[in-house]
């Protein structure tokens, strides 16, 4: 599409947008009595207006039924609550319902999955992540390595961008895997890198890891609901994500996991077990001897967090209505328009550098703006103008035009404020 540099063009795009009605399904925060320009769906998605009714359904059942709500709740019996999100999650991450389940929180799930898929031996013990991975991932990996009694510096491989570059090249990731093929146990990268917004080539990386004899897992915190994912077809071993970013399920919302079908019935895979992962038909016999449920369900531990999961279902209902195909198409246009506008400010490259890849296939809707001058002052000025964006040390402003509730006019007005601020 040929973009135009005008507010009239932005308004025309909004009028033609087949998803324009979905903005009204969300609460938009206000600043100084006006709707904010909210570009932080990459940190916390906005609240869908149906969230309250979903949670109230469960509160009413709890009030009127007490414990009987586990089997007699009017709409969604709590005993089966983890099943109600399966199809929607499978559609979002490109999986089979057997391969996904909603549970726990993100970092906890990464730990539980690494217990199963990071199984170092004397020869094969190295774990690879990207340099500058999200801190929680770094800490989780560090503690897993040390838990196994290994030397952290010897066991950890960090693959970094080339000098003078901000993002990783797929060939460099694959090359690093191949160089360590004899000693590599696990490759665990982000799906979308939190700082740069780069979408990694999950299929190619997974293929290289498997050819090296290693497992491949991904943290999809910034990818789920944001980019096209095909975890089953790409042969990924495991993945985990949160639900509070692009999936709009509330602060600290319930996480989700993917475990490939090929591992579905392998009860020999070591895991930290809990009773909600035990054979559902025999769960209340209260006998010793763990028998995992097939698929991702066998990694569950405890009862479902029903209230958090209710908020999750409210958002997933919207995702099912829209469908990922339509969502991704609008995202491509919306973020492309933002990229186009910001580039017009940056012909000299003196004040802003967009470090997120330009090609839509290599990113989602997040753009990371590397501020070369007065970055924190620019960010504070944007905030004073009603923009809710995201600052990441040492010098990046992250903005994410989310297709479910951001508009082309939002994008144009953001550009106008940035232009005025950096002038």
Task: Mark 85-104 as b/e (b = at least 16 C-beta within 10 Å).
Answer: bbebbbbbbbbbbbbbbbbb
φ, ψ for residue 258 (rounded to 5)? -125, 130
Q: Answer yes or no: do 198 and 177 share one domain.
A: yes
pLDDT of 415: 95
Phi-psi region of 323 (alpha: psi -120 to 50; beta: other; left: phi over 0): left
- 1 domain-assigned: no
Distance, CA of 29 to CA of 242 (rounded, Å): 22
Collapse the DSSP code of 370 into the 3-class scheme (helix H, G, I; strand E, B; otherwise coil) and give the result. Answer: strand
Same-domain pairing of 346 and 377: yes
Question: Tokens for 301?
Answer: 């531990």
Asked whether residue 417 carries a pLDDT value surpassing 70, the answer given is: yes
**Who's near 384: CB < 8 A, 6+ residues apart?**
none
pLDDT at 206 over 90: yes
Measure the CA–CA gap between 370 and 398, rounded to whole angstroms: 9
Give residues with Cβ within 8 angstroms of 40, minimum separation 6: 388, 389, 390, 398, 399, 400
**Assigned domain for 238 exists:** yes
Last residue of a domain, one of 295, 320, 345: 320
Same domain, 261 and 135: yes
pTM for this prediction? 0.96
pLDDT of residue 374: 86
Task: Tell me what pLDDT residue 315 has.
Answer: 98
Domain boundary at 285, 320, 355, which? Answer: 320
Strand partners, 38: 388
Domain boundary among the residues 296, 320, 344 is at 320
pLDDT score, position 349: 59
Share of the chain above pLDDT 70, in %: 99
Residue 102 forms part of a structural domain = yes
pLDDT surpassing 70 at residue 347: no
**What is the rounded average pLDDT of the residues 310-333?**
98
Q: What is the CATH number of the domain that holds 369?
A: 3.90.1150.10
**What average pLDDT does the segment 309-338 reach?**
98
Span 266-295, average pLDDT: 92
Separation between Cα atoms, residue 212 and residue 334, nearest integer Å = 39
Neighbours of 8 (CB within 10 A): 9
Question: Closest Cα to residue 318, out of 37, 26, 56, 80?
Answer: 26
Helix H or strand E encompassing 136? helix 135-147
3-state helix, strand, coil in the chain (%, to 5): 45, 15, 40
Q: Are 47 and 243 in contact (CB under 8 A)?
A: no
H helices of 161-253, in order, are 170-179, 202-211
Q: Identify the bridge partners of residue 396 per DSSP, sorted by sequence position.
A: 370, 392
> For residue 332, is it within any domain?
yes
Full domain range(s) for residue 30: 7-47+324-422
* Residue range 61-91, pLDDT digits in tens: 999 999 999 999 999 999 999 999 999 999 9
145 preceded by a cis bond (ω within 30 of 0): no
Burial pattern 112-146, b for ≥16 Cβ within 10 A else e, equals: bbbbbbbebeeebbbbbbbebbbeebbebbeebbe
Q: In terms of domains, do 394 and 275 share one?
A: no
Residue 177 reports pLDDT greater than 80: yes
Give the model's pLDDT for residue 350.
73
Q: Which of 332, 160, 143, 134 is nearest to 242 (CA)?
A: 134
Q: Which domain CATH number covers 214?
A: 3.40.640.10
| 284 in any annotated domain | yes
Residue 348 confidence class, pLDDT cut points 50, 70, 90: low
Structure-block tokens of residue 19: 């998803």
Q: Which residue has the tokens 């990268």?
A: 189
For residues 421 and 408, what is the distance between their CA atoms, to the nearest angstrom? 20
Cα distance between residue 281 and residue 83, in whole Å = 15
Are residues 163 and 73 part of one domain?
Answer: yes
Q: Could you give the number of structural domains in the chain? A: 2
**Sheet strands (E) in 146-263:** 156-159, 184-190, 215-219, 238-241, 256-259
Does 316 have pLDDT greater than 90?
yes
Same domain, 94 and 223: yes
- Looking at the fold, whether 154 and 241 belong to one and the same domain comes out as yes
Q: Assess whether 235 and 332 both reside in one domain.
A: no
- Mean pLDDT for 213-229 is 98
> What letter does residue 362 receive in the DSSP assignment?
G
Cβ–Cβ < 8 Å for 269, 248: no
């Amino acid at each position: 599409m040929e973009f135009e540099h005008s507010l009239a063009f932005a308004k025309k795009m909004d009028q033609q947008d087949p998803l324009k009605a979905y903005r009204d399904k969300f609460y938009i925060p206000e600043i100084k009595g006006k709707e904010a320009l909210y570009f932080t769906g990459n940190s916390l998605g906005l609240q869908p207006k149906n969230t309250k009714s979903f949670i109230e359904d469960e509160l009413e059942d709890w009030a009127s039924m007490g414990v009987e709500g586990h089997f007699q709740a009017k709409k969604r019996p709590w005993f089966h609550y983890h099943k109600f999100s399966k199809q929607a999650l499978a559609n979002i991450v490109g999986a089979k319902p057997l391969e996904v389940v909603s549970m726990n929180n993100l970092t906890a799930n990464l730990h539980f999955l690494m217990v199963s898929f990071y199984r170092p031996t004397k020869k094969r013990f190295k774990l690879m992540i990207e340099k500058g991975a999200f801190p929680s991932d770094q800490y989780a990996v560090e503690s897993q390595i040390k838990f196994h009694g290994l030397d952290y510096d010897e066991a950890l491989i960090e693959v970094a961008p080339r000098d003078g570059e901000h993002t990783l090249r797929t060939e460099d990731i694959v090359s690093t895997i191949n160089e360590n093929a004899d000693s590599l146990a696990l490759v665990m990268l982000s799906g979308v890198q939190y700082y740069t917004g780069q979408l990694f080539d999950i299929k190619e990386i997974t293929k290289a890891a498997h050819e090296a004899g290693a497992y491949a897992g991904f943290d999809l915190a910034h990818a789920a609901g944001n980019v096209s994912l095909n975890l089953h077809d790409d042969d990924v071993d495991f993945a985990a994500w949160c639900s509070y970013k692009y999936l709009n399920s509330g602060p600290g919302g319930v996480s989700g996991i993917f475990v490939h079908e090929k591992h579905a019935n392998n009860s020999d895979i070591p895991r930290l077990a809990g009773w909600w992962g035990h054979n559902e038909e025999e769960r209340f016999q209260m006998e010793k001897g763990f028998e995992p449920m097939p698929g991702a369900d066998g990694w569950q531990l405890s009862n479902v967090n029903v209230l958090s999961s209710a908020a999750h279902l409210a958002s997933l209902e919207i995702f099912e209505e829209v469908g990922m195909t339509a969502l991704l198409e609008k995202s491509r246009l919306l973020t492309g328009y933002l990229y186009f506008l910001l580039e017009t400010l940056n012909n000299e490259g003196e004040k802003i550098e967009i470090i997120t890849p330009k090609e839509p296939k290599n990113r989602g809707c997040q753009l990371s703006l590397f501020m070369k001058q007065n970055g924190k002052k620019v960010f504070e000025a944007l905030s004073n103008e009603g923009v809710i964006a995201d600052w990441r040390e040492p010098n990046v402003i992250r903005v994410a035009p989310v297709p479910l509730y951001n508009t082309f006019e939002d994008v144009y007005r953001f550009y106008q404020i940035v232009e005025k601020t950096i002038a």
